[in-house]
Amino acid sequence: KRKAQIVSIEGNNAQVMDLETYQVSTLPIPEELQGKLKAGEEVELLEAMGRQALSRIINQ
């Protein structure tokens, strides 16, 4: 699990910046988070076997 910040949202994808490494990635937004994310919010990333996925909003 890692913390990241939403940089921007385009359609069903979110550009996120890892708050530890500052690496920016574009990830698909899971159905349960669509319409709920805003730029600047912190989210939790799950990382396994070199893949990342958005998990939940942290500062809600």
Indicate if the alpha-carbon torsion angle 3, 33, 39, 27 is positive or negative: positive
Identify the pLDDT of residue 50: 86
Per domain, the residue ranges of the chain are 2-57
pLDDT tens per residue across span 1-60: 899 999 999 999 999 999 999 999 999 999 999 999 999 999 999 989 989 999 999 975
- Both structure tokens of 16: 């996120």
2-57: CATH architecture: Beta Barrel (2.40)
* CA distances (Å), origin 26, targets 23, 52: 10, 10
Identify the pLDDT of residue 60: 58
Instruction: Yes or no: say if 3 and 42 are a contact pair by the CB < 8 Å rule.
Output: yes
**H helices present in the chain, as ranges:** none
